[in-house]
Structure 1
Amino acid sequence: MPDTLPPTPAKTGHDCIQGYLKSLDSSPGVYRMLDAESRVLYVGKAHNLKARVSNYARPSGHSRRIARMISETASMMFLTTRTETEALLLEQNLIKQLKPRYNVLLRDDKSFPNILVTKDHRFPQIRKHRGRKSVKGSYYGPFASAGAVNRTLNQLQKVFLLRNCSDAMYSSRTRPCLLYQIKRCAAPCTGEISEQDYAGLVADAERFLSGRSTKVQETLAAQMAEAAEAMEFERAAILRDRIKALTQVQTAQGINPRGVPEADVVALHMEGGQACVQVFFIRANQNWGNKDFYPRVAEAEASEVLQAFLGQFYDGKQPPRRLILSHPIDDPDLMAEALSQKAGRKVAIDVPKRGEKAELVAGAARNARESLARKMAETATQGRLLRGLAEAFGLDSPPQRVEVYDNSHIQGTNAVGGMIVAGPDGFEKSAYRKFNIKGEDLTPGDDFGMMTEVLTRRLSRLIKEDPDRQSGSWPDLLLIDGGPGQVSAVQKVLEELGVPDIAMVGVAKGIDRDAGKEEFHRPGQRPFALRHNDPVLYFIQRLRDEAHRFAIGTHRAKRAKSMSANPLDDVPGVGGARKRALLAHFGSAKAVTRANLSDLKAVDGISDALAETIYDFFHAG
């Protein structure tokens, strides 16, 4: 059913909500509460829309958060669904899209890495994989971080000797690489191991990653004994080293529950209006790492926070067979049904009180408590630095969003601009942006022109997407890498776009470009410096260095891409197969660009029409 939006009542709060009851029935669905500016305040789901909305129409009995939300409500929107499970899934999807102010919101929702054993090659490769599972192979995970994957892969290479090189590198080898020499690879690329024996290593690795490591160890131990008895002492030593490496993998995992083959352990700790959710990934009876999250809790209860976290966390991820929670949630049966529907198999939800599962939860809860304490200490420090920034630059209040800009290029080539963002929670890396400099009329190396282009594009987009400055994406302070020239250029952009009220400071290197002697430039004011040991100065240096690191990294990536670019990539109608045919015929892309029409027509798979297209592409004008 499409969204229904009755005429907006003139009243707000309880009276406004009361006006919708006549048009509602007992269907399940999702509701949205909007303020007078039609901004979404809250998204909720209901088994019975009329009953749920009637609760909001009552003038009393609400928490402070809900009472505030009701008082701001000027209109509502409704969407009915066939089942409450559909409503739950839709609710979490809308929360992630709209980010309403009064909902619990998961702010860090990145994908997690897996270990991939490829299956599209005679000699499978083992490697880290993140993102869509589009490559043919077996996936094992998720792991909490790239570091957890890398540590495990490092040990698995010692145990199972599987290759991690790309197929292109594999096919180009004429002798074993260094990994073979240090006993990290069986070197199938040069025939040092048979296909059958390599397949046995792959099978052992997959048994281990599936939780059947005992069988692997028993097999290796038996093989070592046989080798020793046959006086093949070198082979026995190799097998001994593999068993030792396998034991190290298991020891490094830390928590290895015997009775929990596959689960996510999710523990919540709340304190001082903030929350930390700690997630431990248990797969194949092994701990594959843990990660902490800091959702925006909006004064919610623990049960609501944890339920909202689960709905948003698994919105784009495959849930495990079991979730082990520290707190009960509002609708455990409904959440289990929704996650089971998403996974295509049963997903169980437990809140254990004793036994091994309770011990796992206690460990995760301890980590959540300690992580939140560190986070709150860091936030307090960050708050002091932001207050110091406001005092140093004469701002009315501590900035909640600081944007720092830097450019990077080599004599004007592959020029990019970088923007990093910092706020009360530190660096906000999901908000970082890169800008490929597009201005064709810029003089190579024109830093003022590049800064003008970057700020014009950034602020123009903000003006278009959020003219009322309600999204939290507008900067309170701009820090520009440069002196009076850059400051003048940016000030001109701010005035032309009609936003001269945004505070802006240029950070120049100062005398001899030494760190600690920075000069700060503001429009219409004399430059000044901070004392050498001022914590605010160190903070500004960290901000500038992070912007420089980001801009340099972006520039290097762009330069590497341009150096490896193939002129044939941009020719219409030339895909991978035809590109290979042209390169095989002419020997290089450069030779293709110089070829005459008759030679192009002689290439297998290149029609006369396509040959003319290729010729015209390189000889036009």
Structure 2
Amino acid sequence: MERMERLQEKARQLTDKPGVYLMKDNMGEVIYVGKAKRLKNRVSSYFRKNSSHNEKVRKMVSNVQDFDFIVTDSEFEALVLECSLIKQYDPKYNILLKDDKGYHYIKISSDPYPKITSEKQHTGTGTFIGPYTSSMAVKQTVNEVNKVFRLPTCTRKFNFQRNTRPCLNYYIKQCAGICLGKISEKEYQETIRQAVDYIKGGSTQSIEKLTKEMEQASEQLDFERAIRIRDRIQAIQKISEDQKVILGNQKQIDVIAMAQNGTTVCFSLLKFRHGKMVDKSDFIFDDVYDPIEVRNDFISRYYTSHPDFPKIVLTDEVNIDQSLLTDYLTKLAGYKVEIQVPQRGENRKLVQMAMSNAAEQLSYKVKRSGRAIAALDELSRLLGLSSTPEIIEAYDISNLGDSGIVGGMVVFENGQPKKSDYRKFAIHSTNTRDDYGSMREMLERRFSRYQTEQGESSFGRLPDLILLDGGKGHVAAVKEIFQKYGIEVPYFGMVKDDKHRTRAIAKEGGEISIAAYKSAFHLLTRIQDEVHRYTISYQRNVRKKTMLEMEITRVKGIGEKKALAILRHFKTKTALYNATVEELCQVAKIKPETARELQLFLEQLK
């Protein structure tokens, strides 16, 4: 029995209960772990003939020699078990949560007058605090503590020679001026101790400790020391306020958002603790074909290996398994963890911040601008697409009365015009103003070319999204063309306002307002303006050629057919004006004297 038949037969014998399945290669290694509400349906889907699997699944299935399964009592138990098995086996075809972080440390040097710095490695002498996985948190903490306690950040060695001039930090009150020799080593060591307490205990504990020390200094009548401590307390309070992000009463929040470019996605995770952002992590995955599935996988697997649980997780997608993931995170944390998808307010702004970070990080990976990624990602969400469109085709019609009807197609790839793939259409099916009929003709010719030229030209592949310059009438008019050729590319209309600006997206049965989606709005406006410009430019050229053709027929011996042949051959006025008598005779099959008369006529038109 062949491999696929054997696997199909084994899958047909599975139960309809929830559970986990483990795909294995010819060496018995687990290469994929998945969960299912119904094991039989899910596992059987991998081994069906003519299944519409994406490239990643096809590769995985081609390497499967056998599979195991574990039945569970609920989908929740299946999720828990799936995450545990993925952590155990680290399967090749599951997403791997590896970010670009190493370990980072806070170093207190061993000098008589120590400095506090951020370090990537635990090397050299001194005291190290850490390790930390977040370089951002380390650098932010070091910057804060140096400002609060006015510690030196320069490269000077303090030998206290006379006539030492302090640096700028002293004059702007960000350094106590150790180089001036006015602070004793004992006093400085006390300041370092307070700074370390601040690093280890945070601002709240540090303030409490410093307040007690200030009160004790006052009781001992050491007012100078009390004033210095008071100033440090005020500095801590001020910098804490400056670092706060507006979170209301919500203190422990993680914000997760995703940006996508084709089959590459980036997750950005922002951590807020005690009213301020303390960490940011980015994770990039290739070969992603199902954004909803990868979001669910990311959230569940991230917290399996990163047990710093917030009280609230904010995310950017409403279609995730919100209830299931909430139960799972609550079980892991030991207390209630909520998953929210905010649509407005301050929490929505935090999600947008994470989305922007994800787009910028992904831009480095795919060498595109973060703005283009954000716009395409927002457009994908707005239109409810299964993935971010990489190739977009847009169509428009232009006519001059009942003559000179033309169409234009422009192509945007990764949010940028791809002019080499632009195409012009001279409309033949109608001699009257019929935008619907003209749009149908354009798409029918385009899809016909696709069927005959697959892989041979730019027409030999389909776009990810088609946009029509027009409203729901245009969308309805072309539906039969999509059905006739079996084309499943999503298509929408671009609706203009009375000032010729894109105001909405048309679909069957209504419109989608785009005013609130700035990135998508600007991209759609740019596409609509470009397809309109291109089509109008083509229509004007056709009109000019038509007028020139009519002018040429005034020359004796040149009729409409010969005039058309001349214009088709020479294409531009410049080429025509520079044509020799011999070229004109050969192209139009006219006598030399007729060609010379044409040359004289063209001289008069210059």
- Shared fold, TM over 0.5: no
TM-score of the superposed pair, with normalisation by structure 1: 0.42
TM-score of the superposed pair, with normalisation by structure 2: 0.43
Question: Which structure has the greater CA radius of gyration?
Answer: 2
